[in-house]
Structure 1
Amino acid sequence: MPTIRFLPDDRSIFVPAGSTILVAARQGGVTIEAPCNGAGSCGKCRVLVTERDLASLRLPDGSGPFDAGEGISAVLACHAEVLGDLTVTVPERKEAGLKIASHGVRGDVTLRPYVVKRYDPDRHETSILAGDELLAVEQGDISAECFGLVVDIGTTTLVAALMDLEDGRELATASALNPQSLHAQDVLSRIRFASTPDGLEEMRGSVVEEINRLIASVVAQVGVARERVYEAVLAGNTTMIHLACGVDPASLGKYPYTVEFTGGCHRSAAETGVAIAPAGLVYLPPAISAYVGADITAGILATQLHSEEGTTLLVDIGTNGEMAIVKDGRLWATSTAAGPAFEGMNIACGMRAGKGAIERFHVRENGEVEIGVIGGGEATGICGSGLIDIVAELVREGVIGPNGRFVNTERVSLPSTLRERLVTISGKPAFHLADDVHLSQQDIRQVQLAKGAIRAGIDLLLRHLGVEAGEVRSVLIAGSFGYHLRAESLISLGLLPSEFDGKIEFVGNTSKTGAEAILLDRECRPEMVRLVAGVEVVELAAIEGFDKAFVASLKF
């Protein structure tokens, strides 16, 4: 059998001839980023081989080799089949200094935690109570050391916060990339990946391991023993919670999209593997449906959406495109598959919101461009907020037409500063942004599909309620990604109706702040269970005219 040596890990793996480099890496515990789960559509699994070692590979069309200079070639690990011995170098991932929003709005919360402590001076021991249940008894007076944890399990990122259950303060936060995204970027890809016991365990184990690393980080920041953390609240979309709990998500990926695990209950910390107190509990907020999860439940609580007067829309702009709307005290919810473009995936020069990513783009009146780069310095890629800014500005300036195509400069007059940036790369039109960073025609198509899905979802939800866009009183944009967006770009792009101008509020990571409210006030739990039971879920695909609305929403 051929031997693959992976660098910089310096790990050698024997594989059957014909195995792909990606399969071999996964078998040997080598991490290669492949957010499309080996479908060959994202281009993120490129690895490096020498010209000599190319002879040991079979490469389908479109999988390379791509010249990387100095006698080195890049190939797609998901398609490159191994025929003989070779050495593969896995490039360092570009995710240093990730910008992950951990803050968000949260209304006033009454401090009534589910877990409390009672000290008995006669016995000189402290009882830890969860509701009416005795969790544990510890020696001494440790009644002042009572802590809880919240974790927002996003499709792309994780955010953890340590809370003091005695006074309700947030003591420390930590965030990280969701390691599941290295293998499968969007929800459907993860459902497919977890369709086998090994895949499910990989998804569960990797995210729990990262959550435990974040727990270690937050307790270390303030010098708290994790054995004093007695309850954790996990919020996330329905698939993320299934995977974190090791529940088979297969039913979420096929009609009628049934939910195996609805939440609104506790599991023991030992059962979930979450590294808090041995007798600790993990609370899982109720999910609304297969594709409207506990993150939206938490968001409704954080924003008090259900108490809003008139009509208010809550939208979490991300891979899942979840949204909820209240009208005259009644709640409706839906979701739409936006895909991973807004996370910088499936984009030629896309990357996550880390150092070197273009996060802001503006065209001045004279045609000069302003480019904002995370961390300053030279741009090395484009993150989601930068992608939306770039496309929105180029649409506004007429560089991109309503159909999503770059305009013909022989027919359309453009400022020279913009016209000079329209180039041809690999025989196809592109817009030059920086050295080795550009926007391709295919990138624009990905943005069209993502924004079309969300816009169609909004339009159809309003139509279902018989509400005109101008009648919406307030629009709340939630999510870690949404916090970095600009209202003018969302409207210029057509992702939001122009009638929403002046009504948009960015409310941040309400999945986390809603989970904090649930942790701090036990009365929120039965309230949210009752509320979720009354939410009407709107299945967009079942609405007449869905296809037409989606196609119409593709236009800029």
Structure 2
Amino acid sequence: MVKVTFKPKNIQIEAKVGENLLEVARRADVFIDAPCNGNGSCGKCKVKILKGKVDSKKSHHIKENEWKNGWVLACVTKVIEDIEVEVPENESSCMKGMKIEDLSSPKDREIFQRAINKILENGMEFRSYVRKDYIEIPQPTLDDNISDWDRIKRSIRNDLGYSKVFCRLPILRRLPHILRESNYKVTITHIPRGGNRTTIVNIEQGDTTDRLYGVAVDIGTTSVAACLVDLYEGKLLAKASSGNAQMQYGADVINRIIYATKNNGLEKLNKAVINDTINPLLRKMYLDSGVGKDEVIAFVAAGNTTMCHLLLGVYPDYLRREPYIPAFVRSPFIKASELGIDVNPETFLYITPSVASYVGGDITAGVLSSGMWSSEENVLFVDLGTNGEIVFGNKDFFVTCACSSGPAFEGGEISCGMRAASGAIEKIVIDKKTYDVKLDIINSKKPKGICGSGLIHLIAEMMIAGIIDRKGRINRNIEHPRIRFDENDIGEFVVAFKEDWDIEEDITITEIDIDNFIKAKGAVYSGISTLLLSLGMDFDTIDKVYIAGGIGNSISIKKSIQIGLFPDIPEEKFSYIGNSSLIGCYLTLMSEDARLKMEDVANQMTYIELSAHPGYMDEFVSACFLPHTNIERFPSVEKIL
């Protein structure tokens, strides 16, 4: 055995000789970003060997001067003796610095209210399914000596009208003490089950009927967002968000599914999303709001189908194997105590229903919040994130599909790509004559990399300026310091020179990066096109386009059309609808009618498996150009070029 010390936190762990350094870090709970799950393709797991020797492979992701100074990729490095390893700060802190909507801007409040109004306009009740009632129970005597449980059931029947009352063992265990300590004056929190049935999920001393809370959580592949809600007023009392701690096991669902098949992999992924992501967010919200965890009695979560499996600790591998069968699409109500989620242990967790292996509950929640289920117009719903999901329809029908866009929209598989965190370049303008570059950087004066919205801007600007052709190849006829080629004739464009910005290395985009991004945008466009073709429709039939997902608020519709991400239709048809998954969870938390509507939405959706559609591959190949092989599909771009 040898010792491995991770700096700067001085975390030390023993490792076997020959053990993979990335796996050692994972065992030590040291976060090292690994979007590709350790197959050596992304180059994001760079660490520096400060002391000792390792057995490592030279990679094109490691520059010559970095290699000489001890930098290696953790995923292709074996431990052979005692070592000290420096984990760069931007890796260990990337989860905390992610730019995620705070839900508090006027625009976000407007989006929330629009979703609420849609529920009310359709005659639905906006009231939580959880109830809270104060009851005063007659104290026992020698003449009235029935049991505590029978006594409370009798009072509920007489005062509230429920003849069938249920509870679980933890409530029963609390009854003898809480009744006597409160002089038989208690508040019960209960969930009516239809008719005259109800289930008690909490019991408190005295009258606490003014305090009733719930939590809505959107579990994204890359980020997790949550809000704490007053179930009486519907008010957002607190909000919190962070990166999904599962990121260290891969940027996309396929890599995480593969990791789940490894020894203890599923357990680690489950722990990462609950213990290391959701529970810290809950504790932050409790601290911010003054709400106690035992007062939180309702919990709604949404995520893609893989995230839902990993949240519940259900083996997910068959999701990625033909014929792509999930273990479940609708989960039973589950108690918080079964998963160790930091709310009242008797709280029932509701997981929004999925549709198929790659269209999850985050999409059904998003469709609910969008209101397209009541629309007379044809609406295209596109969720842009680590996965790309598309829904098309109106009040009469829905068709849906998922496209394998990969992590490029989150900066994955891009050499200088990064998630939308502090230091990420999110907007780029290139002078067509001088090739000078202007940058918009998130919360920083110095750039660290380029996020998804920045990549869309950059590739569009490079195409318009003639720096790249429609295949994404850099123009060999341009002589300029920003354009250079390596020994293998792979071109790159310098977005930010290290001397100009006082940073360690130039920030560049290579032809390989551009090719990866073109494939990602091509997957989305061809998914939209194939979905419409399956219905015998074309882009002219689209009345509205709703863009959801973390990247949506920052991207330029104009630039997205220019690169061929979206069809060339009038920009006024596009609108951004925020974190539609979280808003859908909120609606479900606040309205039983909304929850039932979402169940109907999930049942209505017809899933199209793109890989089995005869025209999909032709559409995809055609879409892997800027903006498209058939330039006539993009008349606004044709004019510019």
Q: CA deviation at 1:273?
A: 1.5
AA partner of residue 340 (structure 1): P
Show structure 2 runs of 5+ residues with no match.
120-124, 138-183, 193-197, 499-505, 627-641
Give the drift of 1:355.
1.3
Instruction: List aligned pairs for 1:7-406, cutoff 5 A.
Output: 7-50=7-50, 53-54=52-53, 56-59=54-57, 62=60, 64=62, 66-68=64-66, 72-94=69-91, 95=94, 97-103=97-103, 105=111, 106-108=115-117, 109=119, 110-121=125-136, 123-131=184-192, 132-196=198-262, 198-209=264-275, 210-263=277-330, 265-327=332-394, 329-364=396-431, 367=434, 368-406=436-474
In structure 1, give the amino acid aligned to 2:133: R
Q: State the alpha-carbon separation in 2 of the partners of residues 237 and 490 from structure 1.
A: 24
1:21 corresponds to which letter in structure 2?
L
Task: Tell me by how many angstroms 1:293 deviates.
Answer: 0.5
Q: Does the CA contact (< 8 Å) of 1:43 and 1:348 recur in 2?
A: yes
Name the SS for the 1:277 alignment partner: coil
| Cα separation, partners in 2 of 1:3 and 1:175, compared to 1, 3 Å | same
Identity among equivalent positions (%) equals: 35
Residue-by-residue CA offset, 1:102-122 (whole Å, 9 max, x unaligned) = 445323244220111011145
RMSD: 2.0
Closer/same/farther in 2, CA of residues 402 and 290 from structure 1, 3 Å limit: same
Task: Tell me if the contact between 1:469 and 1:500 (Cα under 8 Å) persists in the aligned partners.
Answer: no
Alignment-mate amino acid for residue 90 of structure 1: V
Using structure 1 for the length normalisation, give the TM-score. Answer: 0.94
**Relative to structure 1, is the Cα distance of residues 336 and 67 closer, same or farther in structure 2, using a 3 angstrom cutoff?**
same
Once the two structures are TM-superposed, the CA of residue 399 in structure 1 deviates from its matched residue by: 1.4
With over 3 angstroms needed to count, the CA separation of the structure-2 counterparts of 1:63 and 1:85, relative to structure 1, is farther
Q: Deviations over 1:49-104 (max 9, x none)?
A: 14x734x42425547574239x7321011111223332221111252532102445
Question: Displacement, 1:425?
Answer: 5.2
Residue type of the partner of 1:423? R
2-side partners of 1:344 and 1:93: how far apart? 14
Conserved 8 A contact 1:230-1:280 = yes
Superposed CA offset, 1:417-474 (max 9, x none) = xx44223356632111112211111110110110011111001001111111122100
Residue 45 of structure 1 aligns to which amino acid in structure 2?
Answer: C
Tell me what 1:523 maps to: 593
How many Å separate the matches in 2 of 1:65 and 1:527?
Answer: 54
Q: Distance in 2 between matches of 1:180 and 1:501?
A: 36
* Length, aligned pairs only: 546
Task: Give the superposition deviation at 1:366.
Answer: 5.6
**Structure 1 pair 328/303, CA: closer, same or farther in 2 (3 Å)?**
closer
Aligned-partner SS, 1:550: helix
Map Cα deviations across residues 469-516 of structure 1 (whole Å, 9 max, x no partner). 122100100012222111011101101111253311111100000110
Out of 505, 509, 512, which is 2:582 matched to? 512
Matching residue's letter, 2:442? I
Q: Distance in 1 between matches of 2:342 and 2:464?
A: 50
**Residue 465 (1) aligns with residue 535 (2):** yes
Any conservation in 2 of the 1:482–1:506 contact (CA below 8 Å)?
Answer: yes
Deviation (angstroms), 1:364: 4.8
Which of 1 and 2 has higher RCO (CA within 8 Å, sep 6+)?
1
Number of the residue aligned with 1:502: 572
Amino acid of the structure 2 residue aligned with 1:204: N
> Structure 1 CA distance, aligned partners of 2:313 and 2:87?
29
Checking the alignment, whether the CA contact within 8 Å between 2:373 and 2:395 is kept in structure 1 is no
